[in-house]
Amino acid sequence: MMNVPLTVGSLLERAEKFFPKKMVISRTLSGIHRLTYKEIGERTRRLASALEKLGVKQGDKVGTFAWNHHRHLEGYFAAPGMGAVLHTINIRLSAEHITYIVNNAEDKVLLIDEDLLPLIEKVSDQFNCVKAYVIMTDKDVLPETSLAPVYSYEELLKEGDPGFEFVKDIDENAPAGMCYTSATTGNPKGVLYSHRGIVLHSYAAGLADTIGLSESDVCLAVVPMFHVNAWGLPFAATWFGSTQVMPGPQFTPKLLVELIEQEQVTLTAGVPTIWLGVLKELETGNYDTSSLRVILCGGSAAPRGMIKTFESKYNIPFLHAYGMTETTPLVTVSRLKSYQENLDLEEKLDIRSKQGLLVPGLEMKVVSGDGEVEWNGQEMGELLIRGPWIADEYYRDERTKDAFRDGWLYTGDVATVDEEGVIKLVDRTKDLIKSGGEWISSVDLENALMAHEAVFEASVISVPHPQWQERPLACVVLKEPFKGKVNKQELLDFIAPQFAKWWLPDDIIFMEEIPKTSVGKFLKRALRDQLKDHLVNNS
Amino acid sequence: MMNVPLTVGSLLERAEKFFPKKMVISRTLSGIHRLTYKEIGERTRRLASALEKLGVKQGDKVGTFAWNHHRHLEGYFAAPGMGAVLHTINIRLSAEHITYIVNNAEDKVLLIDEDLLPLIEKVSDQFNCVKAYVIMTDKDVLPETSLAPVYSYEELLKEGDPGFEFVKDIDENAPAGMCYTSATTGNPKGVLYSHRGIVLHSYAAGLADTIGLSESDVCLAVVPMFHVNAWGLPFAATWFGSTQVMPGPQFTPKLLVELIEQEQVTLTAGVPTIWLGVLKELETGNYDTSSLRVILCGGSAAPRGMIKTFESKYNIPFLHAYGMTETTPLVTVSRLKSYQENLDLEEKLDIRSKQGLLVPGLEMKVVSGDGEVEWNGQEMGELLIRGPWIADEYYRDERTKDAFRDGWLYTGDVATVDEEGVIKLVDRTKDLIKSGGEWISSVDLENALMAHEAVFEASVISVPHPQWQERPLACVVLKEPFKGKVNKQELLDFIAPQFAKWWLPDDIIFMEEIPKTSVGKFLKRALRDQLKDHLVNNS
């Protein structure tokens, strides 16, 4: 067969050729912009030629610091199209981490949203690699800035070459994109995405049995473009000629629902907290969301009740998926098999609330100390993944050796697999409780506790125990009206019917607040440090 | 990203792991067999280990001479799974051509259907490479045969290893399959399919915007498994866990319709003549074909009227596709773009009767002498294709240099491209008429002539002309009742309104019969030889 490399540039070329009239609908600070793929194509080529003039060479990193909008999309294709690497920087990182990753990636040029300038200005004197700052603004005049040298995105495009040719003879294993994932301790860890990985991932996203992304879709990626390439949707949606709607800066649930209604969005994608907000908005307003064929939800587990409400009350099908920065990210999608369609509604919801089935092209193993676990929905083990869009290292980072071993990615996620091969995540390896050689899921206990009407938040951690090595300990924040009115035993009695006796927490500690990470996850490490002697002293 | 090769063996492994209960429903001489993918997987591994014991090594060719059934499917995965190459032999070839391709491919082992034995026995003394003949029979006792050494497929499986491991570390560019395409003159030409090509092609077949093959499909490939891998459906359907229905030997339209009804087939695929037969059968019987979501049709152009009848009368959506042996074969699929859904029925049918849009992953060009043609639905040129599942040579064949040039496959098909990028085939390059520097499509003239009630067959050829270099000449066979009652001028007047004046044939010659190839196509070469002086002498 012909030796034709899989390249990111070819994805946009297909949209330019076959879907030149289809639209990208982009919200920026100045309002809604409507551009055809023909225009996006020309602008992308102009951008690529401008980057070249700024000194960007094949293999160089081009950083973006931006919301989801058409200029960011142009960067998605311009950098890989010229053989450079698109490095999407998470705008929510700390100043320290932004500095670290820009320098670790050695970004040559940064494309920055106007409203995000202050975040970069604060740290730019620490950058030791950036040769040019490009401001993505709608205005004719550049804003005042301490950055230098600084360029206007639109001015650069005016001088750029709309006929710039994307590189064709590039090695498909060369990097095309890059994203950093935050670590529990220390600096974020960089992941490189190859041309091959992104194209194969785009195929995977277009399969009828996964997301089924199609030309007929109007795709609203709410998941940020600085977060694992917005789950790869901008690449795949462009390739297939889907209409894309990009929500821009500082959107609200209300704005999202309005976009869905106005632009007749068919597919939208984001994390559970987004959909909790959207659900609240749907309950207050009178919106027509009938264009939606699916809400794609990942990033963390979607509450079963939320899925049910969307489907039964608003008739919007929910699609649960799982992946991580290291996996480009699509790993599983939770769809029913055809012979499960006859199950009753609750049974179907049980299955669809899990993380789902491995997408075609990947391999998985779930291993505990004794080897691969049985597929019985009970036995727990760490999920290992392998495949052509799975990273094989952290960029210039010695933590590579912990996560990538024997050709597998050790995800750090603990899962069960049922008889049908459906994965359910039960915990992070480091949060799992190992009691007398048996594993206990902190997540299951937390979910059970949080189902109690008095509980606002619950975090279950593992603490050392003289006899059982580790035992679960629950940290609970009560809702205001219930404070002082609910005791430990009441909560333990409430969850007891759902668990084996030895799963129940040895103690419940009521707190005013549970410490959290910058992205709002429980900081269990802090709790473990604080409470490490609790059972030793009290036993 | 991880360096994980794309392999054919991994496709079956997915079905074994995630769809072990799904079924392959296979008709052989003894009736219907129902096997799960778990069973197919074990049998395939047994077969692979048996082939190894017979001396098959990595890179060796394993020939099959068989109908569509489960044993043929096992061969599809056993040979590539062990690193060998599956060579599917067209059972309809002449004895001379069968001999040529077995020797050209150097088949080490042949897997042969019992009822097809005589065809091989007739020529086997000419084979200079075959070390073992394996008879695929349902019976316990091998039939009498002159072939030697000869083995029973099922006996080999009994002794085989159900835990045989597929090769993992194979180069994805290594050949996995092989098929010969017939040539106008000379021997058939061999095409090798790589592991990479087959896997990428399978992705392409699962996209929502192409065939959308899914786990929920019940897939009946009527197109023979000896013909371009049954369009790749057995590979893709296995990967996605679709139910497969295999019609076995000597099927009739009635049998096909019964299978569709009984097995609740959702997707079926074959050439137009199959569907013409099925249409006739539907008209005689009282069948329930409501399970069908799509008929996939390729191989040659489907008549517009037939598409319309299936859709309007039987409510069975038709999907027109195009490809060739050299292209694995999927090149285009004819689907409407979302904004074309509002066109009226006839306009939509006009679009869907064309060959369609290029599938994601390929590149195309349509070139005439002056470079690429304009996309206006008028200008004609030769279709060139490029991509990772397109062949780059004929196997050990010097005709390679004619078809594969500058990194492109010259398809020999003449096409127009409309403003939407939709391809319509208008002729074969060698049949096109070049009159005074302008091109005239023989196919268009033939279709126009055959629409006349008196015309049974019409073949339009190019003949030399002193002034215009070439001019069209029509050879027409009249239906019995019209013989002697219709004259040339009547036919010319009939088609005149559809064409520019200079397109009209210079003469019409009435014949008793038009010479045909072994597969029933017009043998235009013979007509051209016979009539080459017609216009020179008569002008």
Closest CA to B73 of B105, B114, B104, B43: B43
Asked if the model's pLDDT at residue A300 lies above 90, the reply is no
**In terms of C-beta distances under 8 Å and separation of at least 24 residues, what long-range contacts does A16-21 make, across chains too?**
A16/A40, A16/A41, A17/B421, A18/A241, A18/B357, A18/B358, A18/B420, A18/B421, A19/A215, A19/A241, A19/B337, A21/B339
CA A46 vs CA A49, A74, A152, A162, B302: distances in Å: 5, 10, 13, 5, 43
Write down the pLDDT at residue B519.
58
State pLDDT tens for residues A422-432: 999 998 888 88
Beta-bridged to residue A414, according to DSSP, are: A382, A427
Write down the pLDDT at residue A226.
96
* Overall residue count recorded for chain A in this entry: 539
* ipTM of the complex model: 0.93
What does A457-468 look like in DSSP terms, one character per residue?
Answer: EEEEEEEEETTT
CA distance B427 to B416: 10
Confidence of residue A282 (pLDDT cuts 50, 70, 90): very high
Given CA atoms B451, B455, B458, B464 in this order, what sign does their dihedral have? negative
State pLDDT tens for residues B145-181: 999 999 999 999 999 999 999 999 999 999 999 999 9
Write down the pLDDT at residue A229.
97
Nearest to B208 among A10, A214, A339 (CB): A214
Nearest to B1 among A194, A207, A240 (CB): A194
CA A494 vs CA A306, A461, A484, B292: distances in Å: 22, 19, 17, 51
Nearest residue in chain A measured CA to CA from B422: A18
Q: Does B406 touch chain A (CB under 8 A)?
A: no
Asked if the model's pLDDT at residue A521 lies above 90, the reply is no
In B58-208, the DSSP E strands lie at 61-65, 85-88, 107-113, 132-136, 150-152, 175-181, 189-194
Q: Does A342 touch chain B (CB under 8 A)?
A: no
Asked if the model's pLDDT at residue B283 lies above 80, the reply is yes
Q: Does B336 touch chain A (CB under 8 A)?
A: no
* Overall residue count recorded for chain B in this entry: 539
Confidence of residue B538 (pLDDT cuts 50, 70, 90): low
Asked if the model's pLDDT at residue B50 lies above 80, the reply is yes
Closest CA of chain B from A521, distance in Å: 28
pLDDT, mean of residues A214-236: 97
Closest CA of chain A from B96, distance in Å: 27
Lowest mean pLDDT among A177-191, A284-298, B61-75: A177-191
Closest CA of chain B from A61, distance in Å: 17
Nearest to A421 among B18, B337, B421 (CB): B18
Which residue would you say has higher pLDDT here, B34 or B185? B34
Proportion of chain A above pLDDT 70, given as a percent: 99
CA distance B269 to A527: 61
Whether A203 and B360 lie within 8 Å, measured CB to CB: yes
Write down the pLDDT at residue A539.
54
Whether A215 and B207 lie within 8 Å, measured CB to CB: no
Write down the pLDDT at residue A302.
83
pLDDT, mean of residues A450-461: 90
**Which residues have a Cβ under 8 Å from the Cβ of B298 and sit 6 or more positions away?**
B223, B231, B269, B271, B320, B321, B322, B323, B329
pLDDT, mean of residues B398-410: 96
Whether B1 and A391 lie within 8 Å, measured CB to CB: yes
Q: Is A326 marked active-site?
A: yes
Asked if the model's pLDDT at residue B193 lies above 80, the reply is yes
Q: What residues in B contact A207, CB-CB < 8 Å? A: 203, 206-208, 240
Closest CA of chain A from B24, distance in Å: 15
Q: Does B216 touch chain A (CB under 8 A)?
A: yes
In the block, tokens 């539907």 appear at B282
pLDDT, mean of residues A402-412: 96
Write down the pLDDT at residue A511.
94
Write down the pLDDT at residue B65.
98
Nearest residue in chain B measured CA to CA from A216: B338
State pLDDT tens for residues A230-260: 999 999 999 999 999 999 999 999 999 999 9
Lowest mean pLDDT among A68-77, B69-78, B185-194, B425-434: B425-434
Asked if the model's pLDDT at residue B522 lies above 80, the reply is no
Whether A338 and B208 lie within 8 Å, measured CB to CB: no
Closest CA of chain B from A22, distance in Å: 9
Nearest to A209 among B6, B199, B206 (CB): B206
pLDDT, mean of residues A495-516: 92
Q: Is B326 marked active-site?
A: yes
pLDDT, mean of residues A337-353: 95
CA A3 vs CA A164, B5, B84, B201: distances in Å: 23, 15, 21, 15
What DSSP character marks residue B116? G
Asked if the model's pLDDT at residue A519 lies above 70, the reply is no
Burial (CB < 10 A; 0-12, 13-18, 19+), residue A92, is: middle
Whether B337 and A19 lie within 8 Å, measured CB to CB: yes
Q: What residues in B contact A216, CB-CB < 8 Å? A: 338
**Which ranges in B208-250 belong to alpha helices (H)?**
228-231, 233-240
Beta-bridged to residue A439, according to DSSP, are: A434
The 10 Å Cβ neighbour count of residue A385 is 24
Write down the pLDDT at residue B245.
98
State pLDDT tens for residues A125-152: 999 999 999 999 999 999 999 999 999 9
Tell me the whole-structure pTM to 2 decimals.
0.93
Q: Does A405 touch chain B (CB under 8 A)?
A: no
Which of B308, B348, B434, B488 does the annotation list as catalytic? B434
Nearest to A17 among B173, B207, B421 (CB): B421
Whether B19 and A337 lie within 8 Å, measured CB to CB: yes
State pLDDT tens for residues A373-405: 999 999 999 999 999 999 999 999 999 999 999
CA distance A303 to B251: 52
Which of A231, A439, A468, A503 does the annotation list as catalytic? A439
Q: Is A434 marked active-site?
A: yes
Could you tell me how many CB contacts below 8 A there are between chain A and chain B? 133
Whether A173 and B3 lie within 8 Å, measured CB to CB: yes
Write down the pLDDT at residue A538.
65
CA distance B348 to B337: 10
Amino acid at B55: G
Q: Is A275 marked active-site?
A: no
Write down the pLDDT at residue B518.
61
Nearest to A213 among B208, B213, B241 (CB): B208
Q: Which B residues, 192 through 211, put their C-beta within 8 Å of a C-beta on chain A?
A: 192-194, 196-197, 199-200, 202-204, 206-209
Q: What residues in B contact A204, CB-CB < 8 Å? A: 203
State pLDDT tens for residues A150-165: 999 999 999 999 999 9
Closest CA of chain B from A233, distance in Å: 15
Closest CA of chain B from A490, distance in Å: 42
Write down the pLDDT at residue A523.
83
Whether A208 and B214 lie within 8 Å, measured CB to CB: yes
Q: What residues in A contact B16, CB-CB < 8 Å? A: none
Write down the pLDDT at residue B539.
54
Proportion of chain A above pLDDT 90, given as a percent: 85
Confidence of residue B136 (pLDDT cuts 50, 70, 90): very high
